Each structure stands twice: as structure tokens, then as C-alpha cells.
Amino acid sequence: MDIKNNIANIVSISRIFVAYIAIACLYINTSWAYFLAFLLTIIAFSMDGLDGYLARKLNQSSEWGSVLDILGDRIVEVSYWTVFAVMGWINIIFPLICVARAFTTDGIRSVALSKGFTAFGEKTMQSSKIGKFICASRFMRISYAVAKVMAFLLLIAVNTPGLELWNGTPILHTIAMTFAWIAIIFCVVRAIPVVAESGKLFSNEQN
């Protein structure tokens, strides 16, 4: 692989491993391991924005890069929700919704990709203004990312071993769960236009 011309893609893939290291730290029941998980989670989500910036800056935007970006998002998001549920921090409904949404939207987007459309950008499969805003606008994408990272960071923080300040403050747990619900609602809402506008992709196959 030509590293110089695939820097953005390398960042997209690398953040998956950063997230996995963070998740592994959660199984080490010490405050320093959780602090490291907290820090690595910030880095992983920062890399999510960095890959897009580098793709535009270095003129490395491509359909493959778009696929890798979404792939990285799905793996990281589902991994965190699943581990949090396994640890008993959240209800199992969170990862179940996330996985169901991922299979649904990405299945539809795979058909769109075969027809020359992408999830975001100039070739986005969304044709309506509301669909483009909900799925592809910078505002919605950033809002969703912020909700997720805040939920993940606060859930790690309130469950850090030995930090009675966090564990003894119910309001922080409430705030963490509020962000978690906001994130999962975003997850569902952003899938609606993808499903609603998918009919045209399949009707075209019959013409």
C-alpha cells in the first residue's frame, strides 16, 4: 500500500485499534487503567475528525475512504456500547439498537454505492433537503459525535475504580445516561432518511 497517498485511510483504520486498546484497559480494575481508557477514547474520536480533514487537505477523498470512515465508526461505536452493556453500565438495548441500525443503513448504502452514490458529500444518496440535513450535514454529524463521545467518556469516568467523587455523585451518572440516550436517539433518527429514501434505489433495478 502506498502510505503517502493513504494517510487519511490509515488514520481511519488506526483509530479502531486505539479504541480497542481503550476498551481493553476497562478490564484492568485500576484507576490508572481507566484514566488511560478515558484518554485513548478522546484520541480515537479525535482521529475520526482528523481522517476527514486529512482527506480534504491532502486531496485523498475517495469512495473507498468514505467506506473506511463509516466502517471505523460502526466498529468503534458498537464495540463501546457492547462492552458497556456487558459490564452492566447500560441496558443491552443500546448495542442492540446500534447493531440493527448499522446493518440496516449500511446494507442500503452498499446498494447506493454500487449505483455511484455515497453516504455523504456531493454524491450523497439523500435527495431531499431534510434527508441531507439529518444524514449528511456537518451539524448533525458533529452533534452525533459529541453526544457519543460525551456518553462514552462520562460512563468511563463514573465507573472508574477508587474515585468515590464520581461514584458518589448521582447527578454525574444521570448526565452520562442522558448523553447515552441522546446518542442512541441520534443513531435512530439519522437512519430514518436512509430507509425512507431507499425505495428509489431498488425501483431503479426494475426499470
Q: What is the pLDDT of residues 18-39, one digit of tens each?
A: 999 999 999 998 999 999 999 9
What would the pLDDT profile of 97-155 be if each residue is shown by its tens digit?
999 999 998 888 777 777 777 666 666 777 788 888 888 788 888 899 899 999 999 99
In the numeric block, which cell numbers belong to residue 51? 481522517
> How many separate helices (H) and strands (E) can be counted in the chain?
10, 0
pLDDT in tens, 67-107: 777 888 899 999 999 999 999 999 999 999 999 999 998 88
Q: What secondary structure does DSSP assign to 65-77, as a single string?
A: HHHHHHHHHHHHH
For 99, residues 6+ apart whose C-beta sits below 8 A from its C-beta are 78
pTM: 0.85
